[in-house]
Amino acid sequence: MCRLTETDRLYFRPWRENDAEALYKYASDPRVSEMALWPQHTSVEMSRQVIRDFFMNNEHTFAMVLKETNEPIGCIGLVPVGAEHYKPLVNEREVGYWIGYPYWGKGLTSEALKSLIEFCCNNLRLDSLMVTTDATNKASQRVAEKCGFVNFTDYDYNGTPSKAFRLSLSSLIIRKVDDDKRDFIDLLLIGDESEDMIMKYLAPGSLHVGSMDNKDIAVIVTVENDDGSVEIKNLGVDAAFRRSGIGRKMLEYVEKLYPDKKIILGTGETPSTLRFYRSCGYRYSHRIPNFFTDNYPNPIVEEEVTY
């Protein structure tokens, strides 16, 4: 099991049932439960049940253990998928954390959050992390901002004014584009040489654009088929950014966007293209004879292969 790196004052481990008394000690304090937006613990048994039902069932929930006392004094981890307080982006996870009242304002939660960020970067290949807080929870907001999170929206959560913060873990930002799709024709032509063919699938398809440092460098177009599958119609990466993992990240984005769908794609038969898709986990299905000669006005030549 991957673990969080310990800090000067803390180490991290999974919760255990025999942590119930320590959990109750801090979770029974209304000052903690009010800021954390969960019910105040009313008994050791309730704390034990929370450990069983929630903490131990989530592999990315960790006890924050103070080295000085060897006692759990707080909790940090990733909110289970589907239980987020604000809708996350594709390949984004929400972070949750709290710490016992005696340890507020001592910088311990910031230490823990930095360790969790490092863990996510090294082990989970996420694009971003999100933190949500009660709008009045200034301390939690300061922790997030101290660790690089930026407030991107204010919203209402079940009647509670709330704030959401985001930290990008990847320099590649991918977004869906619904309007003015033709503005990206130069990138689209990298993945498909026929503008006429592009126009046929671009209107009904979904266009996703990848950018770095505010420069658009990659596109991917998907179409949902009648049989329930999702077809990748176009994948284009600016020549200056090839062989840097951008194409693979665009594919991973689509795979996470459609986790329960069969994903298919058609491509030419150049050796490098086939190697790329195979390295990304795609497998040969079938061949369509004369597809390019039947659908494209001019012959296509790539790596001495003519279509």
The rounded average pLDDT for each run of 10 residues, N- to C-terminus, in the chain (307 residues) is 86 97 97 89 97 94 97 97 92 96 96 94 88 95 95 93 92 90 96 91 96 91 96 94 87 93 87 87 83 65 56
3-state secondary structure of 280: coil
Q: By residue range, what is the domain housing residue 82?
A: 10-168
Structure tokens at 60: 């990315």
Place of tokens 């999170």: 149
Number of domains in the chain: 2
3-state secondary structure of 290: coil
> Is residue 193 situated within a structural domain?
yes
3-state secondary structure of 266: coil
| 28 and 49 co-located in one domain | yes
CA triple 280-283-287, angle to 5 deg = 130
> Is residue 229 situated within a structural domain?
yes
Which of residues 168, 201, 219 is at a domain's end? 168
> Tell me, what's the pLDDT at 293?
65
> Is residue 95 situated within a structural domain?
yes
Using CA atoms, how far residue 232 sits from 65, 156, 191, 204, 247, in Å, is 47, 36, 11, 12, 12
| 72 and 132 co-located in one domain | yes
CA distance 11 to 8: 8
| 144 and 230 co-located in one domain | no
Q: pTM of whole model > 0.85?
A: no
| 56 and 30 co-located in one domain | yes
| 143 and 207 co-located in one domain | no
Which CATH number fits the domain that encloses residue 181? 3.40.630.30
| 205 and 275 co-located in one domain | yes
> Is residue 190 situated within a structural domain?
yes
| 141 and 229 co-located in one domain | no
CA distance 64 to 71: 8
| 214 and 287 co-located in one domain | yes
Which residue, 120, 115, 143, is CA-closest to 9? 115
CA distance 279 to 94: 30
CA distance 90 to 252: 10
Which residue, 188, 295, 181, is CA-closest to 238? 188
> Is residue 88 situated within a structural domain?
yes
Spell out the residues 6+ positions from residue 74 whose beta carbon is closer than 8 angstroms to its own.
26, 63, 64, 97, 98, 99, 100, 103, 108, 109, 112
Which of residues 168, 198, 216 is at a domain's end? 168
| 155 and 215 co-located in one domain | no
Phi, psi dihedral angles at 250 (to 5 degrees)? -65, -40
> Tell me, what's the pLDDT at 210?
94
| 141 and 274 co-located in one domain | no
> Is residue 3 situated within a structural domain?
no
Element containing residue 264 per DSSP (H, E): strand 263-265
| 181 and 293 co-located in one domain | yes
Element containing residue 261 per DSSP (H, E): none
